[in-house]
Amino acid sequence: MEKQAKIYVAGHKGLVGSAIVRRLEQEGYKNFLFRSSKEVDLTNQVETQKLFETEKPDYVFVAAAKVGGILANNSYPAQFIYENLIMESNIIHAAYQNEVKKLLFLGSSCIYPKMALQPLNEEYLLTGPLEPTNEWYAIAKIAGIKLCQAYRRQYGCNFISVMPTNLYGPNDNFDMETSHVLPALIRKFHEAKHKGDTSVSVWGSGTPRREFLFVDDLADACCFVMDQYEGEQIVNIGTGTDITIADLAAIIAEITGFVGKIVYDASKPDGTPVKRLDVTKLSNLGWKATTSLRDGLAETYQWYVSQTK
């Protein structure tokens, strides 16, 4: 990307979007297009089209999405599928109509079948049933991938898609009803420590394995891929390593200073048993994550504490 190019980061205030902006600024980019959801409703086709027609961005990062954990996905299935479908459709179509040079669409590792072989290779997409607890979000993200591929095939658009693993970091969502497992655990253990609780309850059995990527590493990977990759096929972004929820909870308890008991509520769903990405394609391109889980968790906790004062 040229340093003077106009770059639109859709969802620039969120976990992913804010990290991409930080990374681009570090690289010397200054010509950004930002619009909050109050300024432009990306679920409104007319508003989205007007934004592109007026501003004519050169490059687009599609980080805008309605996201959440198991509880949120189960509680608001219609919102998760509708809002994500309509946002990505509006942005991708407007990017085509206004001749955007290149677009990067951010998907999610939940696009892969629930019982797919591990680690999850990009070729496993659409080879089996999805995890029921987040299929609404996953279907919307799969549609976004296919939109990028379709516009590339029919119109020659340089639209690419990346699939991040589970993300965490500054600007994450710590709301107990809508957050993902990692920020939810940080908040639980932090509040338990300050209340003097003797135990913390964690959803599920603690045995599922998950891969976690620090969001600033993701942002670095997105900028790398934007410069280095031109293909139609999706690209996984992750660490290539995973950890049990029980081990994750133990590390978070240590970082937050909670010394009580961790209790697992087996009546709550576990979700997919194992979910780890095959990052061979990205490694072969020349990129790998550099932030350790412990370091990333410590930085995320410091940020969370700074926001609660």
Task: Look at residue 283 and tell me whether its pLDDT is greater than 90.
Answer: yes
* Residue 196 annotated in ligand binding: no
pLDDT digits (tens, 9 = 90+) for 78-135: 999 999 999 999 999 999 999 999 999 999 999 999 889 999 999 999 999 998 888 9
pLDDT number for residue 129: 95
Residue 286, strand partner residues: none
Task: Lowest mean pLDDT of 26-30, 72-76, 137-141, 252-256, name the range.
Answer: 72-76
What's the mean per-residue pLDDT of the chain? 95
Across 212-230, average pLDDT: 97
Residue 306 pLDDT greater than 90, yes or no: yes
Given the residues 137, 151, 168, 301, select the one marked as catalytic: 137
168 classed as catalytic: no
Confidence check: pLDDT of 240 > 90 = yes
| Cβ contact 192:260 at 8 Å | yes
306 belongs to an annotated ligand binding site = no
Whole-model pTM? 0.93
Q: Is the pLDDT of residue 274 over 90?
A: no
Instruction: Give the pairing type, strands 209-210 and 243-244.
Output: antiparallel
Tell me the average pLDDT across 186-198.
96
Calculate mean pLDDT across residues 198-220: 96
Classify the C-alpha dihedral 43-47-48-49 as positive or negative: positive
pLDDT at 166: 92
Domains of the chain (ranges, CATH numbers): 7-169+213-239+277-291 (3.40.50.720)
CA 86, CA 25: separation in Å to the nearest integer? Answer: 29
Cα 252 to Cα 298: distance, rounded to the nearest angstrom = 9
Q: Do 223 and 106 contact (CB within 8 A), yes or no?
A: no
The percentage of the chain sitting over the pLDDT mark of 90, rounded to a whole number, equals 88
Is position 73 annotated in a ligand binding site?
Answer: no
